[in-house]
Amino acid sequence: EDQVTQSPEALRLQEGESSSLNCSYTVSGLRGLFWYRQDPGKGPEFLFTLYSAGEEKEKERLKATLTKKESFLHITAPKPEDSATYLCAVVLSGGYNKLIFGAGTRLAVHP
Amino acid sequence: GAGVSQTPSNKVTEKGKYVELRCDPISGHTALYWYRQSLGQGPEFLIYFQGTGAADDSGLPNDRFFAVRPEGSVSTLKIQRTERGDSAVYLCASSGQNSGANVLTFGAGSRLTVL
């Protein structure tokens, strides 16, 4: 069964304290891996797409990396406004853009 | 419009009632998706439309759930004989050739509460 697992479930950081979120996946074939950010009461907002092992994408304080079995979202020197739930999702090869999501990591950054 | 619009933003209903949730996708997006998100969980796929037709409805939990997209734009998710377990946020997303790497753009969701 295709599965996406995110860890930790929740993470509390002090402002400026760098850390990483993990997304591990077990799928029949990976076409792409997506990271989304979700704020309370809002829909997920697209951050990155990664397609092949070794690929990296960066945006401000965030950097996403991909291996054959997992992806990491690295947060460098986070600020309180980075507080949100970060969702990882995969799209399987041979199909359309149907996202299979993990449960997310709730990140809280305190000043 | 500029984004995906969903109405109502909140719906409270009683067990056994019928509800309709509406999604207005980004103009020109041919693909439309419905997802359901329970508290503390990631979104769960329900149904996918390509144009007017439902290309994949494998995520609909049972025959009380139905969705239509008659003109290939606006979509309505219909839930009959609602149950307390249907309480969740229902998210709509759309994508198209202008969305970049087939990225799904989500609306803010419709929060359904069944009493």
A59 burial via Cβ count (<10 Å: 0-12, 13-18, 19+): exposed
> Do B50 and A96 count as a contact with CB atoms less than 8 A apart?
yes
Q: Which residues of chain B have pLDDT under 50?
A: 99-100
Strand partners for B1: none
Q: At B69, list the tokens.
A: 């997209």
The rounded distance, in Å, linking the Cα atoms of B111 and B107 is 12
CA-to-CA distance for A27 and A94, rounded, in angstroms?
Answer: 12
Q: Does A44 touch chain B (CB under 8 A)?
A: yes
Q: Does B56 touch chain A (CB under 8 A)?
A: yes
pLDDT of the residue at A96: 76
Residues 6 or more apart in contact with residue B62 via CB below 8 angstroms? none
Mutate to test the interface with B, among A1, A23, A35, A38 (most CBs of B within 10 A): A38
Q: Where are the beta strands (DSSP E) in chain B?
A: 5-7, 10-13, 19-24, 31-37, 44-50, 53-56, 65-68, 75-79, 88-95, 105-106, 110-114
- What is the predicted pLDDT for the residue at B97? 63
Nearest residue on chain B to A89, alpha-carbon basis? B42
Question: Which residues of chain A from 49 to 68 reach within 8 Å of chain B, CB to CB?
Answer: 49
* B43–A42 CB contact, under 8 Å: no
| Per-residue pLDDT, B113 | 98
Contacts of B48 in chain A (CB under 8 A): 96, 98
Give residue B1's pLDDT. Answer: 55
Contact A42/B at CB under 8 A: yes
Q: Identify the pLDDT of residue A28.
A: 87
pLDDT tens, N- to C-terminus, chain A (111 residues) = 889 999 999 999 999 999 999 999 998 888 899 999 999 999 999 999 999 999 999 999 999 999 999 999 999 999 999 999 999 999 988 767 789 999 999 999 999
- In Å, how far is B107's CA from the nearest CA of chain A? 5
Predicted local distance difference test score (pLDDT) of residue B101 = 53
Q: Is B101 close to A41, i.e. CB distance below 8 A?
A: no
Q: Which of B21, B37, B103 to mutate to test the interface with A (most CBs of A within 10 A)?
A: B103
